[in-house]
Chain A
């Protein structure tokens, strides 16, 4: 069947099977390989994208379910001039990634968090990111980056 959705502001269409996962459509049909598949069992969060403004695990949503939806992936996070968004820049500034595999999901989850809670506490950040696993265990700096992206002072946070 044919699906059409807005991806990072552009209308995109493609043929999918009933079983095609949203993440496969993004990666394999649209070649948007920024969204990663880590566990493929809904645990790790590397595949988090926004669907109609909400964070979802794209490995656990059918592409057909996203027909007509507004989808945002990590490729759509940079500013219009190509410079990094505030959240992405904070990840770079605070070394919020080691191997980088979980980063797309972390960035998308962080963006969803800051949209609903612009000044989260450290505990709220850690709680919100519980569906995103960093197997380098680089959580301290990820949390620090999210706190910094929210405009808060991070000089006393984590990464002892």
Chain B
């Protein structure tokens, strides 16, 4: 089969800039929506995978396997575990076993003198910790200030948590337009900023980061203070760094300590399970993106159909010159695909500039949209598919006519 020259298809793209813009624009919209939905799913997966470590065991209340926030364990669990299981990681003489409370509480920036109090206190995720938490969560690091002191009404804030309060965090002192005075800025969420947590004012004593994890959107405070604030005597979970111990050792511990009513799993498995829990939401996002993008796809197909239909005589001439219908169809598909993939590339650039890393809040904190290689490949594949399928109606319209009829236009 003798094909038409490749540059014939490319040169044809420039014959009608308006139609080219319509096709490319439609493809950009479709690709951007597909890319956004994939970036959403990938960001959520990445965040959950980075939060849970395979080297950590998580003890939670029996029956609360799907939500650490609902879990309750006796306060003594961490001490009993550390004393009962041999081989757990020990750092500087301290067994890496961290009792924690995870709870969502309403939080709002405390109003300045004379200013009206904020009425909407959005829930934010608070984690009550003891110093052992830093042994089991190496992803977390303090970037400014210090950790909350024992007994003090202090919290440490992450950038995502500050964003939930309507702020914008940066190292040292985060800034929030027109809110509170922080260290080194006139108006910012920084060291010393007051945050009302469930109606009680707390001072921000430090800023921490845990990039790419759900902890990047949490507030941390001392375990005993959070227990006091929430009037609970139990803990949500215990995280233990396995060290030389095996998960089965901890599982055996939970099977023998019936009074604790606990179960053990790898921390990574818990967050993987949580990812499965959010699968319907990911599907919903994808279906919504497909539905919306259908509009863009139909617009692009319509423009392409109009562009090709006006070239019926040209197609008839090519057939009269001896080019087969298949060769002409290939040329038209190339033309359409190049236009659509160009739109996809534009969508990728837009996404990298505007979408990548955007924080999305969810019940476990927040995660950033991940415009990674998978998302980009999905967008380009969507554009290519649109180019191929979108050309089919137009090709059928052009090639179905006999040559004399086509030449008459």
Do these two chains interact? no
